[in-house]
Amino acid sequence: MGKRARLELIWDAIRDIPRGSVASYGQIAEIAGIPRGARQVGYALRQLPDGHDVPWHRVIQASGKIAFEKGSRPYKEQSKRLMMEDVAVIAGRVDMQKYRWQPDLDELLWKPSAAWDDE
């Protein structure tokens, strides 16, 4: 599989995270078919082209922590975007028990959320 195809798989998995939910880097890698590929997800996020539609802010560390340095511009932007989706960010962390995206098999196979976007 080529590098561009792998990036697209990762970006598509991130696009499927519903508003108001988050996923970890490792979770996205697994969904994209790249086991133990959490670092590749980070790489893919750094490769996002201008004008993209990928909700990058919904990807956080497995511990619930925002990966950016506290107080940095990206940290503030991610926190703001998550809070605009009613995801509580407290001391740079998100409660993974409450906000972690847990797609069922139908959602992963048929991507019903994407189908509704076409209407």
Give one DSSP letter per residue of the chain, joined into a string. --HHHHHHHHHHHHHTSPTT-BEEHHHHHHHTT-TT-HHHHHHHHHTPPTT----GGGEE-TTSB-SSPTTSHHHHHHHHHHHHTT---BTTB--HHHHB----HHHHHH-HHHHHHT-
Query: What is the structure's pLDDT at 104?
Result: 79
Query: Hey, which CATH number is domain 3-112, 1.10.10.10, 2.60.40.10, 1.20.20.10, 3.40.50.2300?
Result: 1.10.10.10
In the chain, what are the domain boundaries?
3-112
pTM: 0.86
Query: What is the structure's pLDDT at 111?
Result: 67
Instruction: State how far the alpha carbon of 48 is from the alpha carbons of 13, 95, 98, 99, in Å.
Output: 14, 26, 28, 24
Q: Which residues of the chain, if any, have pLDDT below 50?
A: 113-119
